[in-house]
Structure 1
């Protein structure tokens, strides 16, 4: 083993964890891992995908699920190398330098800032199912106030909120799985349609529709949307910095991911296509609400509506939690306003959390004024998800390269098939961007309504230009803060910046 990392960089990396409390226990970690990615993408977004894709959507979810599992294995290796609340930002700083950390952190923040605004707006819509006269602005403020208070209390309070939110989401899926299995095996009549596995191939157009409004590449192209249904699965990496026993709990959570994806994502989609023709599912209405309504269980549809509110609130909660910690990691290197460094005695980076919540309020107002203009900004958040997942794969590849050269010790939880499995993940994410462009082009006859296409062709260069300009604005401060040591911590032969002899 070569000489250890320089004291300057060691202090810098370790400083990110100062002030945090390791208060997330096994119960909370397990439910965050299970329920973190179960949200509106499954409960609501799957309807439009079923309608436009057909039964083959099951394969789309399964394949993306495998990529998500590879992502979590890469993440697990990084967490056991060094658990930190800065997560991907901190690892990018360690393996690729300050500029990479700056870009990664702000891309992740952009993703959650825009996603959180959309979730707030969604809560306002969902609440109208129960309280049609409730002003949207009031719903937005109440919802934000609840998750803001939860986040400002402590990491343990966040964990408890996520635990019970996950219990409700997982519970709803389990109830549906039980009812769905009974209905499909018993071949019950659902609103004039007989349930059963025969619907997989008797569905209009067959299992893989390729005629009429369908295209043979539909189930492949839809993966560019399915990947965002799994977004937030990487949140375990951020939470690891505040786990009581990350080295034990993270491997358990990661190893169970493939099973949970199969049960809680692919399972419900498979049952949905076995219960009704996919043409019966319509955008804007939860497919679960549709099924329960046809079964005469309208009250269960109301329960799903309530779960949608819980899912959106859970996403908001996660957005505030992660952005507060990522902003503090950026602030430690002068890459974000120094205001974001402030922490409460309970170990909460409250300043970054408050900053994000202010953006949420302004964004929700913007969405109310001009939802069409905001839709484009929301799609830009998708780029943030792809970038974050890419950064995890890249960091895992670099970590393993350094391990192979004897520069750093091997993680005790290694990704199988490395580096090829990470290369597969990166290739898939590159294809997701291509898929977004193609699906966006096909989505409308009007050029300026081809939202995803515009985001890929114009949005990516604009975001890149803004990040480049932002880096030049903070570069001098970062250089001064690090003494010019803005490169990666490690080179192929050891520390990039060896310790200077003490006077």
Structure 2
């Protein structure tokens, strides 16, 4: 008998706690922190620190809401399957396909980033070539046993973490002792000079929230590891709680150091703040070092995207919400068909790298943001519905609870609505709000055509 066919097709629980911890961090920290922070600072000035802090708190509550259910029902479908069970199969179907699409688009952007960054060393290379090579490599990594995926993602995420910690430590030496600045102590006065801490007022902070929210997308991917975690009742709570503090340190800490060292209105003229900081300390080859880190960050995100989307196809196929061919596992208990199906669509990104203008990715990425807002909304609503079915005694006996529920749920939902409104006032993101109804309308139509009459969504009680 196939070792993967036991009562239900089951993923292999090969992810250890250290894997879960680094996957949780790596899923949130992307290339935006290394190269995209300059544009965010231009929008809000030093007040960008408030934006990252605010969004970090909102995401923490969303992850706690997800963790409350995932600890009890550690299934591969995560929030998509929870939505099917507690809100109805229609919501699970839309959430699953939307999240799959969200990661597919993200992977297209990441392999494009690899193509761009490789030009640093090979300026004459065609951009689509390294993009294709990156996609092939990440596909191979995802087709082997999950423990190898965990190891790969562990080390890739660790590179990002070490780079950020190094940035914070080096910058702190400049701020406190003047090391790397000719012995002149830098201090933190740059945080309130040059127009003050809020040079554009609260409006600047609000307008930066869309970009900051995008930076945090991917954090919900920690829920997908529940089906392959060795001890989800232990590893998931630990990973979620530690992720909150670590991400705040990495994002807020790194930007605090950067904004202390450089006047905020000069950062856009010095290139990557990370490169500038390493150069200022006298480290030769700083640009090459950061470029290597950014390439690994992009590969890490693409790796996580293929992992997540492949498993979503597998989970939805088990519930009758995707073609049955995706419900099979290979000999390593990996959803190979789901991975191949995902990669075939991501190949469109390779083609676009050859024929399409760069602005296409700006619009598609904006649509990705609306997808993330839907995912987070479903997590908050699902946890609310889950709580409604519990007695006060059962709530008190929960192993891992979302603090402040249901009030924190409604605050989180209010924040998601705020982001939607803000997107209307930005010309680059407004188009996503025009396209989103078409996308969700298509999902609603296909659900009614192919799934509604013969819905066989799995219930949590029957999930392993």
Q: With the length of structure 1 as denominator, give the TM-score of the two structures.
A: 0.85
Q: What 5-or-longer segments of structure 2 have no aligned partner?
A: none
Structure 2 counterparts to residues 123-142 of structure 1, below 5 A: 123-142=114-133
Matching residue of 2:424:
437
Rg larger for: 1
3-state DSSP of counterpart to 1:225: helix
CA-to-aligned-CA distance 1:83-122 (integer Å, 9 cap, x gap): 0110011100110111111100111011111111011111
Matching residue of 1:82:
73
Matching residue of 1:10:
none
Cα offset for 1:408? 9.3
Aligned with 2:64 (options 73, 76, 91): 73
Q: What 5-or-longer segments of structure 1 have no aligned partner?
A: 1-13, 441-449, 496-503
Q: How has the CA–CA distance of structure 1 residues 81 and 130 changed in structure 2, closer, same or farther, with 3 Å as cutoff?
A: same
C-alpha contact 1:16 1:86 (8 A) present in aligned 2: no
Work out whether 1:105 is the aligned partner of 2:81: no
C-alpha contact 1:47 1:284 (8 A) present in aligned 2: no
Cα offset for 1:252? 1.1
Q: How has the CA–CA distance of structure 1 residues 472 and 406 changed in structure 2, closer, same or farther, with 3 Å as cutoff?
A: farther
Runs of 4+ in 1 over 6 A off after TM superposition: 14-17, 191-194, 405-409
Aligned with 1:145 (options 125, 136, 161): 136
Structure 2 counterparts to residues 106-121 of structure 1, below 5 A: 106-121=97-112
Structure 1 stretch displaced more, 155-164 or 291-300: 291-300
Work out whether 1:303 is the aligned partner of 2:293: no
C-alpha contact 2:188 2:260 (8 A) present in aligned 1: yes
Structure 1 stretch displaced more, 428-437 or 120-129: 428-437
C-alpha contact 1:199 1:277 (8 A) present in aligned 2: yes
3-state DSSP of counterpart to 1:254: helix
Structure 2 counterparts to residues 205-244 of structure 1, below 5 A: 205-210=195-200, 216-244=202-230
Aligned with 2:369 (options 366, 382, 399): 382
Matching residue of 1:320:
306
Cα offset for 1:176? 0.8
Q: How has the CA–CA distance of structure 1 residues 18 and 284 changed in structure 2, closer, same or farther, with 3 Å as cutoff?
A: farther
CA distance in structure 1 between the partners assigned to 2:182 and 2:97 by the alignment: 49
Aligned with 1:345 (options 320, 328, 331): 331
Cα offset for 1:137? 2.1
CA-to-aligned-CA distance 1:118-170 (integer Å, 9 cap, x gap): 11111000011112122222201211111100000021111111100111010
C-alpha RMSD of the superposition: 2.5
Q: How has the CA–CA distance of structure 1 residues 235 and 388 changed in structure 2, closer, same or farther, with 3 Å as cutoff?
A: same
Q: How has the CA–CA distance of structure 1 residues 194 and 277 changed in structure 2, closer, same or farther, with 3 Å as cutoff?
A: farther
Question: Which protein has the bigger helix share?
Answer: 2
CA-to-aligned-CA distance 1:181-219 (integer Å, 9 cap, x gap): 1001124675999732111111x2111003xxxx54111
Q: With the length of structure 2 as denominator, give the TM-score of the two structures.
A: 0.92
CA distance in structure 1 between the partners assigned to 2:96 and 2:403 by the alignment: 27
Work out whether 1:291 is the aligned partner of 2:277: yes
3-state DSSP of counterpart to 2:268: coil
